[in-house]
Every structure is written in structure tokens, then in C-alpha cells.
Chain A
Amino acid sequence: MNEPVHMVDEELIRSCLSGDRNAQKVLFDKYTRRMMGICMRYAPSREEAEDMLQEGWIKVFRNLHSFRFEGSAEGWIKRIMVNTCLETLRKNKKMANQVELDDVYESVYTEINSADFMSAKELLKLIHKLPSGYRTVFNLFAIEGYSHKEIAAMLSITENTSKSQYSRARMHLQRMLLLENA
């Protein structure tokens, strides 16, 4: 099932490499919505997510020659996106280890519609309410599926920090969800 997709991607990327602007656009159109979804999870706002997306795509096209056609193109692009997001967050000094704001929590409980089913949009809202550091670790661990060890290396924090940030984030989300469904 995956085979033809990869074949298509491979051809696409080869024409991108030869500098075909149209092929670049096709590749962009194919994955950009999904990548935007990733950026939205990491960025505190839509504007910043768009900046990350843009930055990430430029990196993708600049480094396309280093794609080895081994894994899926999407996975490769996704990894670049996530790294771009982390880099941007680091640049903006909104990184994990700086967040220790237990007071922020209160504002978190407002304006969530109570419904058993929660749309991605609403969950995204919850994610955005997390402090940036929690959000980053939660994204990396729960959704991207990195290990705490990997996360520690990526964010240059200790493994324990990653674990504690994650459990706090999780607790946080849980409380929000409970409150939501109460």
C-alpha cells in the first residue's frame, strides 16, 4: 500500500531536486496541511505556527539533496518540521526549563465547551493553554512518540526534567478534561 506512495514521492522529490518549481509546489501542497497541524501544536499562536511552517519548508527544500529515499518523505519532512519548531521555540526563549508557573493554571479552566466528544480544534485549544515547555514535551512524547531520553537530548534538558514536565502536562490536561466533562 505504501509502495506506490513512496514511488510518487520519490519522483516528486527528484524533480524538486532538479529545481522544478512546480514539483516543489506539488510537494508543498501535498504535505503542508499536515505540517501546519504539527506546527500548530508546538507554536503558541497561529502566526508563530505559520512562521515555523515557512521556515521548515525552506529547510526542506534546501536540504532535499540529503534525503536518502530510504524512509517516507513525509516522515523526513515531519522531522524537519518538528526540529524547526523546537529551534524556533528555543530562539524565542520560551523553552521548557524556564517554565515553572503554577499560577498560570487558573486561567486555563475557562471557556471550554463541555462535551464528551472533543474535536481536534478543542484539544488544540487545551494544548495551547499549556505552558510552552509542557506543551513541547507533551507533543514530543505523547504525539510524536519520542522517548524521554531523546527528548532530553533534543531540548538539552535532563531526562528527569522531561519526565516531570510530561507528567505535569498530562496532569494538567487531565484536569482540564475532567473539568470539561464534569
Chain B
Amino acid sequence: MREQNIEKLFKDTFSNFEADVNPSVWSNIEQGLPASPQHIPGSSPVAKPSGFFGKISLNTIVLVAAISATIIGTTLYFSSQKPTSQNILAQQVQAQPQVMKDNSIAVSKAAPVTSLSNAPVGGSKNVAEKQTAAKAKEKVYLNQPPRQAPSEAKTENVSNANSVQVSVEKPSSPEPVNVVAPQHTSSSLQKMAIENNQQQASKTSALPSVENPVATAAPSNKVPATHEATPGSEEQFHFFVPNVFTPNGDGLNDNLKPVSNYNVKEYELTIFDRYGFEIFKSKDIDFSWDGKLKNGEEATEAVYVYIIKLVDFNDEEHNYMGYVALLK
């Protein structure tokens, strides 16, 4: 008899059963997958930062490193040499009165002299010396504690000093950059430091991300353009009520939502069961029926009647009546 063979029959038939696949499935899957990570490895030519960004990031990293070194150097120096620093400053002021007209000149002149950065700071102080020597001394003292917030004039000086230092002290260590630099520098410098951090981070994690901002920025700029191209200007009022909905909580068609192409001014939806009892009423088009009775219980799977009265944007009245099937 066949009885014993049913399993065999089905198993034999289906163990290698194949079925045609709609070609669209693959494209759907492709969309569901994360973007192809083929370009991630650093060996890829695409990953090489393009000239401008590459230079910027390199330069800025060096810059931040130099800034931090300068700040540490100055604070260390002045904290260890409180009594003599004033004299040194005064000497330097006399020795180089015209240096600070151009920072780059200051650099080239100051650089050979100093290994630990007191001269550039002194040089930057020259700007401040246009005020008074006494004030300059005060500032020197104020700069001693690393965490003291500097005033406007002082921050300018410091930033000058920093930018001066940059090209001088390239090989200093980049470690303390993130901690020290933002506290001492003016806002523009902070921005640079932040940029640096980002670029450093991106450089260490994945090279192509330097380029990514460009790549992602381009499509996002294009998106609004496509949206602008849809100004529908038909004056006809359309209204649509689905004839089925499925309040089973799966997020799809859980509510009975009539759709209109224009806002309605007045709206009234009433739902009746097959015995003519009113089971739902709404005066807001956005307050749609969720398939529940007035007592909160779920309505059974059945066909219900709706009556909708509304006034459209042209003050025209419409009445709709129809049937809607509730499925779960």
C-alpha cells in the first residue's frame, strides 16, 4: 500500500527540489546588504587621500603636535624659571624689536636659536610689548598654570606663538595634543584641533574615510533636487478608501486609512457592523480605525460598512459609503 511510502515519496521528490527564482530577488537582497566593502583595504588606490586633503591632514597633524609641544615647553620653562624669565624677556624684547611684523620671518630667525621654544614665545610677546613691558611680564605669569583661561589678547599671542612654532618643531611628539591644545588656544585654533582629531582618527581607522565626506556629501546634495521636481497642480479632489485592512499588529495596514490628495475641511467616518450597529466614529482623518470595538475589544474578521462624509478644500461636500473587509 502507499501508506508506508508517503514519506519516501515526498522526501525523494523534494530533497533536491528546485524552483524558479524571480530575478528581482537578488537585487532586493543586494539592497538589503551593507554597501560593498571592497574599497576598505588601504591597498586600494581609491583609498589614497587626494592631494588637498592629504596635505591638509598631514600639515594639521604636525601643527597640532608642534602647538602642544610649544605649550608644554613654555609652561615647563616658565614654571621652572619664574625669577629669571622676566629678565630674559626684557632682553629679548630689546634684542628683537622688529621681528614680529611677520610671523614667518620670526620663525626663520627664532628657530635656530631655540631648542625648547622660549625665543618664539618671547617673540610673540613682542607684539604685546607694544603695550608695556610690565604687562607682558604679568602675562607670562598668567600663562604659567597650564589650565588657566587666557584673556583675548593673550590667546592671540599664544596662537601666534603656536603658528610660529609649527614649521619649526616638526619632530615633537603628538601625544598630548588632544589634552592641552584646546585649553590654551583661541577658538579658531580649537577648530583646527578638532579637525585634526577627526582627521587623525579617520586616518588611523580607515584611510578612505578622508574621502568619504566628499563622496557622501555629493549624493545628499542631489536628493532635494529630485524632491523639488514634483509640484502636482491638478485641482481634482480624489479620495480613496481601501476595501480591506489587517489589524494584526504586523505594522502593515493595521488601520483603515482613507487617503485623499488634498486636505479635507470636515470629515466624519462611521463604521457599522453587519447588524447596523455603529462601532466606530471619527471626525479626524488622521484618527483611523484600528479594528477595535468601542469597548476596546477586537472586532472579528468580517465585512463592515463605512460611511464617510467630508467637505473638501473647495467646500464641496462628498459622501462615501462602502464595505471594508477586516482580515487578520
Q: Contact between A174 and B3 (Cβ–Cβ < 8 Å)? A: yes
In-complex Cβ contact of B2 among A24, A91, A177 (8 A): A177
> A147 to nearest B CB, angstroms?
14
Residues of A within 8 A of B28 (CB): 54
Residues of B within 8 A of A143 (CB): 10-11, 14-15
Closest to A41 in B: B14
In-complex Cβ contact of B38 among A21, A37, A118 (8 A): A21
Please report the C-alpha to C-alpha distance between residue A92 and residue B249 in the assembled complex, in whole angstroms.
10
Closest to B35 in A: A19
B223 at the interface (CB under 8 A from A): no
> Most chain-B Cβ atoms within 10 A of its Cβ — which of A18, A57, A91?
A57
Please report the C-alpha to C-alpha distance between residue A170 and residue B10 in the assembled complex, in whole angstroms.
11
> Per-residue 0/1 for B231-258: is the Cβ within 8 Å of any A Cβ (1 yes, 0 no)?
0000000000000000010100000000
Q: Contact between B6 and A170 (Cβ–Cβ < 8 Å)? A: yes
B19 at the interface (CB under 8 A from A): yes
Closest to A119 in B: B13
B319 at the interface (CB under 8 A from A): no
Residues of B within 8 A of A20 (CB): 36, 38
In-complex Cβ contact of A62 among B10, B11, B25, B33 (8 A): B33
> B98 to nearest A CB, angstroms?
61
Please report the C-alpha to C-alpha distance between residue A33 and residue B19 in the assembled complex, in whole angstroms.
5
Please report the C-alpha to C-alpha distance between residue A40 and residue B22 in the assembled complex, in whole angstroms.
13
Please report the C-alpha to C-alpha distance between residue A101 and residue B65 in the assembled complex, in whole angstroms.
77
B30 at the interface (CB under 8 A from A): yes
Closest to B3 in A: A174
Q: Contact between B2 and A174 (Cβ–Cβ < 8 Å)? A: yes
Q: Contact between B33 and A53 (Cβ–Cβ < 8 Å)? A: no
Knowing A19-B37, A33-B21, A92-B250 touch, does A142 contact B29 (C-beta < 8 A)?
no
Q: With A58-B29, A142-B7 given, can you name 10 additional A-B contacts, CB distance below 8 Å?
A: A20-B36, A21-B38, A37-B16, A50-B21, A54-B28, A57-B25, A62-B33, A120-B14, A173-B6, A177-B2
Interface residues of A (CB under 8 A from B): 18-21, 24-25, 28, 32-34, 36-41, 49-50, 53-54, 57-58, 61-62, 91-93, 118, 120, 123-124, 127, 138, 142-143, 145, 170, 173-174, 177-178, 181
For the complex of A and B, 4 pairs with smallest distance between CB atoms: A19-B37, A37-B17, A33-B18, A36-B19
**Cross-chain pairs A/B with CB under 8 angstroms, 12 sampled:** A20-B38, A36-B20, A37-B16, A37-B19, A40-B19, A41-B14, A53-B21, A53-B25, A54-B32, A57-B29, A120-B13, A123-B14
